[in-house]
Amino acid sequence: MDARTQTSFIAALLCFALAASVLLRTHRQRERWLFGILATNTGLWYVSTFMLGVVGPIPFWERFSLICAVLLPLSAVRFFSVLVPDDTERTRFVRRASLAAAAVLLGAMLTPYYDHAVVVGGLLTYVTVFLSLALGYLYRRGFQTDSRIEGARLRYIALVGGFGGLFTVIEYLPYAGVDIPPVGTILILVFLYALSESISHYRLIDLYELAGRLGVLTALAFVLAFMLWLMRLVSGEQLFLHVVVSAFVVLILFDPVRTQVQQWISQVFFHERFELERTVLALRRSVAHILDVDELAEALMEGLDASPRFTQGALYLLSPDARVFALRNHFGPKPPERVEMAPARPLLDRLSRTGTAVLENAERELEERRLLGHDREAETAHDIAVTMRALQSSVCLGLRGESNHLYGFIAVRDDRLRDAFSREEVQLLVGLATQVAVTVENSQLYQQMKEKDRLAALGEMAAGLAHEIRNPLGSIKASAQYLSETSDHPEDRGEFLDIIVDEVDRLNRVVGSFLDYARPGHTNPEPIYVNSAVQLTLQFLRPECDSANVSLHVTMDPDLPKVRIDIEHLRQVLINVVQNAVQAMVSGGDIFVETRTQDGFRPGGEARRWVQISVRDTGPGIAPGLLPNLFVPFVTTKQQGTGLGLAISQRIVSEAGGRIDVRSREGYGTTFVVLLPAAPEALLDTFEAERELDQSAEPDGAPVRLEPAEP
């Protein structure tokens, strides 16, 4: 039994299996039956080819094979016609012409001249012409449909069908006396499998994944066939050892071939999907370690806006009173500012339960439920669709916590297409939403921990505040008693009144500083240029420095990136640090202020650029025993200081995501270094274009959760 005969038998079994797998499924629609006929017809044709190889050129099996060959393009044309959304004059003409040509050829098969060269040539022409017409029309319709997914589906079927049709024609060449290996059988079976999947789902199965797998399997299959052919050519016979060696070669080549073939297919044929995966990967990495909600919203919207797959998007988060979802950031046309709970309840319930809501799916669900008479489900689908249209969204992604608590949702849309996102692309976005939800949860935990730390610090401050207030109160009491008991020396009253006023001012400074530290920060952070803030602050402080015989020396990097902080708070930090340096140099000295960029890492290993502001003085330095408590409230070396300036500065910088470091040596001066993270820039430019989507090789792709501190 030769290779063609064996291949035909296996192909016949696979064709019947594909037909049965489609016909045995529920909802047997017209295209399913037509596919079953096409697959069965193909299987019968392979059966006839197998029988001709087994029993020889018997007229019955020759006629049967030719009849199946005539019916095969006819069933393919009928099947392709139902895939087109609407019936046109052209499709009707192709169907009628193919039916007429098939009738003529079937009549010729029943005559003694069924194997004449004219009949065989007419058969080859018939197959080539009508398969080309059907597939060409299917491909053109793929560019004319309003649905991007449906268009991609039709074009994909047409392209795979074109390859399958080409090899089908090649399989007909033995009728013309041309003996070739049965290589066309592989792609014919691949084509039938792709067709079976295309009608088993409303959307075609993941073309991205399917094309990659088929490309890899086809490449490896041909590698295996080439190895076997080469070994047989060298040795003159087929040995079991040859099969083992070829299998080892395939196993060794599997991983590199899979990587290269899938990457090539994704970049060439699925460029938009490849770019979407790249965008999502970049965003997941970017938001993984953000702890500020405003920074998260800005980074997320900038990243989505940079992708050509989105024309508008919005991030909604649950308000503190848990009554509405408020808009935190957006790009494109502005959506509603608030989403009330009551009217949006069906959508919110869907997001809380499943995590996603797709407008196209809701509209299709509405039609199906109405046809089935399920009024309640139809009303729910209608409400979801209405809410999503009001949000100007085609896909909504819920930000769910571990207990399905809904923190908010992301709404995105591509208004250029009706159904711009496939099922698999929505799942990619679900992964991004999961990471954003974890970031929001981490932010809340971080804020809770900061509040606990703040309250603990306030408890420690209470004792220091009582001590600071007691001293001026004692002076005020003594002065007041002296004034009430002494009336003989009115000239002394002015001195004691001055003492009272000074001590009251001191009390006011202590209480004001305490309130500044105690109250929660209400800031308006925005990306600012550090050099401008430094220049403005030093211009304000220069007269004070000149009067204290202190020289200011400034060096600023002109290429500093922006930082996200309230400019007035940054100026407050600089004023505190510079004034401390001036007051430390009683006999004058020099202060060196420098700004520059520093590369470093954030927690979790993420690379990040920092902006460094250093203030170095030539004063006496700070005692080593005082350094560990320098930022503790009410710790100070100045007679009139409250000890809260550096504590407030440290809190301001920490809230901006940075820190203050101190380096000092007695007798050699002190250096304060303020480190602030650079504001997020264009996200996608920080990542290479290579594909890094294998989750098993990408541990940082998983969501990062911040565990609450132990009490």
Q: What is the CA radius of gyration of the chain?
A: 39
Q: List helix spans (H) across 373-422.
A: 375-390
Other CB atoms within 10 Å distance of the CB of residue 178: 9
H or E element: which one contains 208?
helix 207-235
Cβ contact 122:105 at 8 Å = yes
Q: Of 626, 557, 631, which is closest to residue 595 (Cα–Cα)?
A: 557
H or E element: which one contains 168?
helix 148-172
Q: What is the pLDDT of residue 409?
A: 95
Strand partners, 670: 664
8-state DSSP, 520:
P
Distance CA 134, CA 152 (A): 17
Distance CA 184, CA 181 (A): 8
Indicate if the pLDDT at residue 315 is higher than 90.
Answer: yes
- Mean pLDDT for 556-563 is 90
- Specify burial of residue 706 (Cβ count, 10 A radius: 0-12, 13-18, 19+): middle
pLDDT band at 25 (very low <50, low <70, confident <90, very high): low
Most confident of the following: 62-71, 184-193, 597-606: 62-71
SS3 sequence of 631-652: CCCCCCCCCCCCCCHHHHHHHH
Indicate if the pLDDT at residue 16 is higher than 50.
Answer: yes
Indicate if the pLDDT at residue 348 is higher than 70.
Answer: yes
What residues contact 545, with CB distance under 8 A and at least 6 apart?
551, 552, 578, 582, 591
- Mean pLDDT for 340-362 is 89
The model's pLDDT over 495-547, given as tens digits with 9 standing for 90+, comes to 667 767 766 766 766 666 565 555 545 556 788 899 999 998 898 888 899 99
Joined together, the tokens standing for residue 107 give 């009549």
**Backbone CA torsion sign across 275, 281, 285, 288:** positive
CATH fold label, 522-680: Heat Shock Protein 90 (3.30.565)
Most confident of the following: 252-256, 523-527, 555-559: 555-559
Strands (E), 416-513: none
Q: Of 66, 77, 5, 95, which is closest to residue 37 (Cα–Cα)?
A: 77
Domain ranges of the chain: 3-204, 206-269, 274-437, 522-680
pLDDT band at 686 (very low <50, low <70, confident <90, very high): very low
Average model confidence (pLDDT) across the chain: 76
Distances (CA, A) of 328 to 293, 336, 407, 417: 9, 11, 12, 26
The owner of tokens 């890899």 is: 216
Query: Which of 46-55, 225-234, 585-594 comes out lowest in average pLDDT?
Result: 225-234
Decide yes or no: CATH 3.40.250.10 for domain 274-437. no
Distance CA 586, CA 584 (A): 6
- Mean pLDDT for 1-25 is 77
What residues contact 350, with CB distance under 8 A and at least 6 apart?
357, 384
pLDDT band at 694 (very low <50, low <70, confident <90, very high): very low
Cβ contact 241:203 at 8 Å = no
What residues contact 153, with CB distance under 8 A and at least 6 apart?
142, 198, 203, 204
Distance CA 163, CA 672 (A): 70
Q: What is the pLDDT of residue 515?
A: 59
Regarding predicted confidence, which is higher, 452 or 470? 452
Angle at 612 between CA 520 and CA 521, to 5 degrees: 5
- Mean pLDDT for 293-315 is 88
Distance CA 424, CA 152 (A): 14
Helix (H/G/I), strand (E/B), else coil: 595 = strand
Q: What is the pLDDT of residue 549?
A: 92
- Mean pLDDT for 298-327 is 88
Strands (E), 167-323: 312-318
Query: Which of 13-17, 216-220, 569-573 comes out lowest in average pLDDT?
Result: 216-220
The DSSP bridge pattern shows strands 589-601 and 550-556 to be parallel
Q: What is the pLDDT of residue 647?
A: 80
Q: What is the pLDDT of residue 325?
A: 93
Cβ contact 559:599 at 8 Å = no
The model's pLDDT over 161-191, given as tens digits with 9 standing for 90+, comes to 776 666 666 665 665 565 555 556 666 776 7
Distance CA 391, CA 385 (A): 10
CATH fold label, 3-204: Rhopdopsin 7-helix transmembrane proteins (1.20.1070)
- Specify burial of residue 459 (Cβ count, 10 A radius: 0-12, 13-18, 19+): exposed
Angle at 484 between CA 481 and CA 487, to 5 degrees: 130
pLDDT band at 638 (very low <50, low <70, confident <90, very high): low
H or E element: which one contains 10?
helix 3-23
The DSSP annotation for 481-507 comes to: HHHHH--S-GGGHHHHHHHHHHHHHHH
Angle at 272 between CA 266 and CA 273, to 5 degrees: 60
Distance CA 503, CA 506 (A): 5
Query: For residue 206, which phi and psi values (nearest 5 degrees)?
Result: -50, 100
Measured in residues, the chain has a length of 711
Joined together, the tokens standing for residue 138 give 């299917």
Query: For residue 486, which phi and psi values (nearest 5 degrees)?
Result: -110, 120
